[in-house]
Amino acid sequence: MTKQIIALVALLSIGAFSAVYAETTTVEVPFNSHGQTCNFDEIAVEYMCVWQGFKEVYTIEDLKDYKELLTVERYDQEIQKLNEAALEVIAIEQAKLTPNEKTIQSIEQKLDRGTATARDSVLMNLLKELNTCKQGMDERTQHFQTAREFEVSDFQLWSVNNVKYDGLLGEIAMAIEECQAQEQIYKLGVGYQNFVFGGKQYSLQDKFTPDIQAIPYSQWTETNSGVNKSLICDSNAHSQQYKQQFGCVILYDGLSAEEIKRQNELRFGTDGQIQYQSQVLDDYMSFMNEYGGREATVEDKKVQELIAEPIANEWKDDHNFYQNKLKNEE
């Protein structure tokens, strides 16, 4: 910006006569200004001017001071710049936070708004007192546990709140309980404390039962879709119908239904007809051929009567009730 000023170079005073010398100077101001002030120092014979320009970066306090001097559009632009700069700072700080710290910050904001729940409060306190638990990393447990370190919390009041333990809260709660169990394992592992780690240990199994495994490793390590049904099939607490639906083999006199079916097919065939000789069946067929196919004659009835008469007389003699009846009738 080009400015013209009248510079007072010298002031001469001779008695009552005074003379003023002045000249016009053009100055290049390297910024836009909103005002200027000039001052002449008579003693030092110096003439100084100050141009007031606009700041490239304003603070909120600056904007309050210059609000009357700035246009509405410029004021809004500067406010927007400040907001964007503040958001950038927040984003940079957020990037430095760990996931747990972000969770804590989010819950604290909910507490400030009054929207946090009891579950949020428990989770926040657990995260603020995080610690670690170790297993298989000491002289007692390194012989039978894989070295591992996991996060727990020292917050003690997590279990007295009636909240749902799932998600991150559930994971921390399970880790705390696992660490408590680890303390018991540490106590029980005192017998391994003086063992030489990594060296060959004395084994009673190797000495007395080298060919017998403590557990069937091949069964426990193989990958299959089989299901151990013995807890259901061998239990008397379940009905036969339930066992059959579950897929158990139901035994009848020591045989399964499939085995009985196969025996019947071998014995009787599969056409539904009786294929073996039976004395009872032969007698029945003989009776039907001799008597069943014709009407009884008088001679037939007489023969049957002669057969039945001695049987009836013998019954009468042995039947006390009938004999008493005959005596009473006499």
Torsion over CA: 52, 55, 60, 61 (sign): negative
User: What are the pLDDT digits (tens) for 28-63?
Assistant: 887 777 778 888 888 888 888 888 776 666 677 777
pLDDT of residue 274: 61
User: What are the pLDDT digits (tens) for 203-256?
Assistant: 666 767 777 776 666 767 777 667 778 888 888 888 888 888 888 887 777 777
All residue ranges of the chain with pLDDT < 70 are: 1-22, 54-58, 66, 193-205, 207, 214-217, 219, 224-225, 272-277, 291-294
DSSP state of 204: H
Residue whose entry in the numeric block shows the structure tokens 């680890």: 182
Strand pairing class (251-252; 255-256):
antiparallel
- Segment holding 256, helix H or strand E: strand 255-256
pTM score, two decimals?
0.36
pLDDT of residue 2: 54
Read off φ and ψ for residue 215, nearest 5 degrees.
-135, 155
pLDDT of residue 11: 40
The overall average pLDDT reported for the chain is 78
pLDDT of residue 61: 77
pLDDT of residue 152: 92
Residue whose entry in the numeric block shows the structure tokens 């001799």: 290
Exposure string over 33-58, b if 16+ CB within 10 A, otherwise e: eeeeeeeeeeeeeebeeebeeeeeeb
pLDDT of residue 54: 65
| Size (the chain), residues | 330
pLDDT of residue 24: 81
